[in-house]
Structure 1
Amino acid sequence: MPARSEPYDGPAIVTFAKELEWRRKQAGLSKKDLAEKLGFADSYVGQVELCKNLPSEEFANALDTFFQVDGLFYRLWERINETRHLSVLPPGFPEYLGYEEKANHIRVFSTNLISGLFQTEAYATKIISTTMGSATGKLVTERMERKSIFEREDPPHTFLILDESVIRRKVGGKEVMHDQLAYLLEVGRRERSQLQIVPYDAGYHAGLTGSFILLSFEDGPEIAYTESSGEGTLLKQRDRVALQAVTWDLVQGHTLSAEESLAMIQDAMERL
């Protein structure tokens, strides 16, 4: 796995790195010395210590054998493998999920990809697998479990706006996209759901700066979550949330009606 420009910050990853550095220094070894003894590149040892690369199972076992620490590094490696996905989730997203479960109104605008709450398993797998490797299965399962909020006795009212590019972009091939569009039709026909599309011919609109979500609650102020270029931000400040609400209104002013939007999705399915 190539080194990252930014370090991983997961607790297990950081613990592995610090334990490695401490034991290497206690043994009076440089990174190059240790690498030569274990049969790894010294650059790899340095990357792991700086949390810019994830340790492999082979590396963990080699460290346990060399330092004779009764499986310590292997256990840390297992923990990394279980939790590594948490270190690459956008900032604020884990906290956002806690709010999503409690919301009674959810407004979602998606400008590039269908938002996770409305993805099919195959669509989600295609997106997540491009970056998450072995953690894909766990992340997809967690994403699908989020949909349980729609199975409550009192499910949230949901308003979903998609830029037309979202339904025209073939993600995962014809079959995956066909099933995803069919699911969107189902979402748009739910009793407490409304789906609308901003067509291409709307030209520039306020939502093109990035996707966002607005959550409302029976008790408590609204919050917002924004995403752009893979980075996320949870917004609680009243003025910033209000600005996202204004953006929502501006975007909605460019949408087709619910009926026209569902017809466009049907058309996109037929053109696959």
Structure 2
Amino acid sequence: MPAKSEPYEAPAIVTFAKEVEFRRTQAGLTKKELAEKLGFADSYVGQVELCKNLPSEEFAAALDTFFKTDGLFLRLLERINETRHLAILPPGFPEYLGYEKKASHLRIFSTNLISGLFQTEAYATMVISGIMGSASERLVAERMERKAIFDRSDPPHTFLILDEGVIRRNVGGQEVMRDQLAALLEVGRRKRTQVQIVPYSAGYHAGLTGSFILLGFEDGPEVAYTESSGEGMLLKQRDRVALQVVTWDLVQGHTLSAKESLAMIQHTMEQL
């Protein structure tokens, strides 16, 4: 989560802050005066208005009582709690999810971890809990729900490329990793899905700069999503998407065949 000195930018949090400021100024009160009337520190009121601190339930209830707003602030707080996790997702990712649901084909390259769409619940929990804290349970559940696209009557054609380090890296312990690799083998055996590995022997290759996803559609141009160091970007500009397509082609030129790749995954799993 962001430090308290940094602003929370989720729309629900901003709306709460703006509403506090509006009601306070309409009443002709300073932050200190409002704080005194509510029994809170004036610094806390200022932090909430600047989106540098999240409002508590006690604060929301006190605002509703003082301004006679019939539960407005408590309802806004409820909305904050419902959407708070969106504030910690990489930029562009919420919009990407909308495209993911509609894609007719996916080309995914992962350089460090199993891509989210193919993670087991235990693997995803290990990955997410280390950085997302209290929002982890909800985010893991939402990640699992994304897999529903493969249960459609017309699932997307999917091409997944992993750097060898992804399957060698022990995430969550032997049991978690063994189950994850077993799940990956099942993915590779699906119709419309192909899994390939870039072996260590390939040395340097274009994909080492970061993971990315290319989404194709039956009735529109491709879009791309890139992610590195926890920062994401959705690309729609034709020239930038084209560059990602070139990178994909360069990476695929270093892959093992699908059969060889599944054999490597099987062997790695048996060694755990």
**TM-score of the two chains, using structure 1 as the length reference:** 0.88
Aligned to 2:122: 122
Residue 41 and residue 208 in structure 1: after superposition, are their counterparts in 2 closer, same or farther (change >3 A)? farther
Q: C-alpha separation between the residues in 2 aligned to 1:52 and 1:234? A: 27
Report the equivalent of 2:239: 239
Cα distance between partner residues in 2 of 1:126 and 1:77: 29
How many residues are matched?
272
Q: Tell me the residue number matched to 1:196.
A: 196
Letter paired with 2:242: A
State whether residues 3 and 47 of structure 1, in contact with CA within 8 Å, keep that contact through their aligned partners in structure 2. Answer: no
Which stretch of structure 1 is more off in the superposition, 148-157 or 85-94? 85-94
1:6 is displaced (CA, Å) by 4.4
Displacement after TM superposition at 1:174 (Å)? 2.8
Quote the offset at 1:228 in angstroms.
Answer: 1.4
> Quick check: 156-165 or 97-106, which moved more?
97-106
Alpha-carbon distance between aligned partners in 1 of 2:153 and 2:197, rounded to the nearest angstrom: 28
Q: Indicate the residue corresponding to 1:213 in structure 2.
A: 213
Q: How does 1:1-272 map to 2 (within 5 A)?
A: 3-4=3-4, 6-26=6-26, 29-32=29-32, 34-35=34-35, 40-272=40-272
Q: What is the aligned-residue RMSD (CA, Å)?
A: 2.4
Q: Quick check: 80-89 or 16-25, which moved more?
A: 16-25
2:21 and 2:271 mapped to 1: Cα distance?
57
How far 1:214 sits from its partner (Å)?
0.8
SS in 1 for 2:220: coil
Contact 1:93/1:232 (<8 A) preserved: yes
SS of corresponding position for 2:221: coil
Is there any run of 5+ residues in structure 1 with no aligned partner, and where?
none
Change over 3 Å in CA distance of 1:31–1:3 after alignment to 2: farther
Q: CA deviation at 1:71?
A: 2.7
- Say if 1:8 and 1:88, in contact at 8 Å, map to a contact too: no
- Give, in angstroms, the shift of residue 162 of structure 1: 0.9
Residue by residue over 1:184-239, the C-alpha shift from the partner in whole angstroms, topping out at 9 and shown as x without a partner, is 11111112111111222322211111111111222322221111122222212221
Q: Render the CA deviation track for 1:136-161: whole Å, top value 9, x for unaligned.
A: 33332322222122112222111101
| Distance verdict in 2 for CA 1:74–1:157, change over 3 Å | same
Question: Structure 1: how far apart are the matches of 2:50 and 2:119?
Answer: 35
Rounded Cα–Cα distance in structure 2 between residues aligned with 1:151 and 1:225: 23
**Residue range with higher mean Cα deviation, 35-44 or 79-88:** 35-44
The alpha carbon displacement at 1:267 in A equals 3.0
Structure 1 range deviating more: 105-114 or 194-203:
194-203
Question: Is the Cα–Cα contact under 8 Å of residues 161 and 196 in structure 1 kept in the other structure?
Answer: yes
TM-score by length of 2: 0.88
Q: Per-residue deviation at 1:27? A: 5.0
Gaps in structure 2 of 5+ consecutive residues: none
* Whole-angstrom CA distance in 1 between matches of 2:88 and 2:179: 28
Shift of residue 177, structure 1, vs aligned partner: 2.1
